Chain A
Amino acid sequence: MRNLIVFLWKHQFFVFFIMLEAVSFTLLFSSYSYHKSLAFGMANNVTGSIYTSYSSVTDFFGLKYENEKLAEENASLRNLIKSAATPSDSSLIQQDNNYFYRAAKVVSNSVNRQNNYILINKGEKDSIAPEMGVISTKGVVGIVIGTSSNYAYVMSILHQNSRISARIKKNNHLVNVLWDGHDYEEGLVVDIPSHIELYPGDSIVTSGNSLIFPEGIMIGTIREYMQSANQDLSEAIIKFSADFNKLQFVYIIENHMKPEADTLISNFEN
């Protein structure tokens, strides 16, 4: 026992190094299982407030761009009102009323890591909960994975674990959209049936299957189609329609029916 203590004392630099690395790795692994990531929800409130004051400065410089985007959105909303007023489509297509939108402001965001997260300024107080979808005016952004009282933590599509259920707009085939960690503007469309031909510019939208995003929200457009040589599923490169580097305002989507659907599914899976 004494020898052990003498040994540890002699090598205290190494022992202390191993101890600190052990703590770091524990933190690292616990944050990989993303449900635990809010163990540091309190820190989020501290760093969050620093970022809030910082982004209030930088926002000023993005005002012009934001204005243009809002104007564009206004225009598209006007169009929606017009088309909703025509009685013809109201009878056949049931408008999806289960989804509720809340606006929020991006407080911190990154695009240059392998796993990117976004912090937004709405949290539990505004009834934001994990597994709600997040979109910008241009397209899908990510999914809420944790909340503190004033902030929510969003897993960006730019994340190794991100997998969005999507659909090819022109023929309704189901595909999945991933991110390969290279370029923040580009993602990967996988599981494309090999008999489907895709061309640059084809739109990829959400499928609505996950119940997180409503159907038909824009994800991006095809940039390059890579037909698989054998009869496997093909892949394509997609250009995300959301500009992750300029995100300032986002909408959080709540699906009122998701809890009900989830209980139903889990009842039959067990």
Chain B
Amino acid sequence: MSNLYIRNIVRFIALILIQVLVLNHMNLSGYINPYVYVLFILLLPVQINKSALLLLAFITGLTIDLFGNTLGLHTASTVLLAYARPGILRLFFKNLEFSADEEPNISKLKPGGFLKYTLVLVFIHHTALFFLEVFSFNGFLSTLSRIALSTLVTTLMIMTLALLFASRKK
């Protein structure tokens, strides 16, 4: 029980720090801005209270926003991600049984399933994020390519992190 809390708190702090101290300062190009902090929301237990899920997403987004001076931007996108999560889990993994505190991690969903789950939710998050950031449909194609490239890079980084977490546990 307390193990679950500690694990998630550590994960929250670690991902926020990776995001604001490393990734936000990396300039691969204007088109690639990976946001791996969403992994925190992706890995919350499947049976978590839905309102708690939304509230945690709100807090996560707000923290990123405070560090990036982008108030509301990441908050809105991350809350949307959290709202979509139960539906996506039901859609893809109807046949999987999850116990009370079980996380939808890479060993439970299998690498292929986890990739699909991450890709779809990161895409939803990044679409909201990049359109809210430019706040117009001008330069539609450049925003689309920004979304596509960043989604791929974020997903790739999340898969790497998830594999690292998984191998350490074994």
Residues of A within 8 A of B (CB): 12-13, 16-17, 20-21, 23-32, 37, 40, 43-44, 46-47, 50-51, 54, 108, 110-115, 117, 119, 153, 160, 180-184, 245
Complex CA–CA separation, A110 to B33 (angstroms): 11
Q: List 11 A-B contacts (CB under 8 A).
A: A21-B76, A31-B69, A31-B72, A54-B21, A111-B27, A112-B27, A112-B33, A113-B33, A113-B68, A115-B70, A184-B30
B83 on the A face (CB < 8 A): yes
Q: A153, B69: Cβ atoms under 8 Å?
A: yes
Neighbour of B72 across the interface among A24, A43, A113, A117, CB < 8 A: A24
Q: B76, A24: Cβ atoms under 8 Å?
A: yes
Q: B30, A20: Cβ atoms under 8 Å?
A: no
Complex CA–CA separation, A168 to B134 (angstroms): 29
Complex CA–CA separation, A23 to B133 (angstroms): 17
CB distance from A195 to the nearest CB of B (A): 29
- Complex: chain B residue closest to A13, CB-CB: B50
Complex CA–CA separation, A181 to B134 (angstroms): 9
Q: Interface readout for B122-152 with A: 1 if CB under 8 Å, 0 if not?
A: 0000000000111100010010000000000
CB distance from A143 to the nearest CB of B (A): 15
Residues of B within 8 A of A30 (CB): 71-72
Interface residues of B in 45-67 (CB under 8 A from A): 50-51, 54-55, 57-58, 61, 65-67
Q: B30, A28: Cβ atoms under 8 Å?
A: no
Complex CA–CA separation, A134 to B153 (angstroms): 34
Residues of B within 8 A of A (CB): 21, 24-25, 27, 29-30, 33, 50-51, 54-55, 57-58, 61, 65-73, 75-76, 79-80, 83, 86, 132-135, 139, 142
Q: A24, B58: Cβ atoms under 8 Å?
A: yes
CB distance from A34 to the nearest CB of B (A): 11
Residues of B within 8 A of A32 (CB): 135
CB distance from A150 to the nearest CB of B (A): 15
Complex CA–CA separation, A119 to B58 (angstroms): 24
Contacts A25-B76, A31-B69 supplied; 14 other A-B pairs, CB < 8 Å: A21-B80, A23-B75, A24-B76, A27-B71, A27-B72, A28-B72, A31-B72, A37-B69, A111-B30, A113-B33, A114-B133, A115-B133, A119-B69, A181-B134
Residues of B within 8 A of A31 (CB): 69-72
CB distance from A230 to the nearest CB of B (A): 22
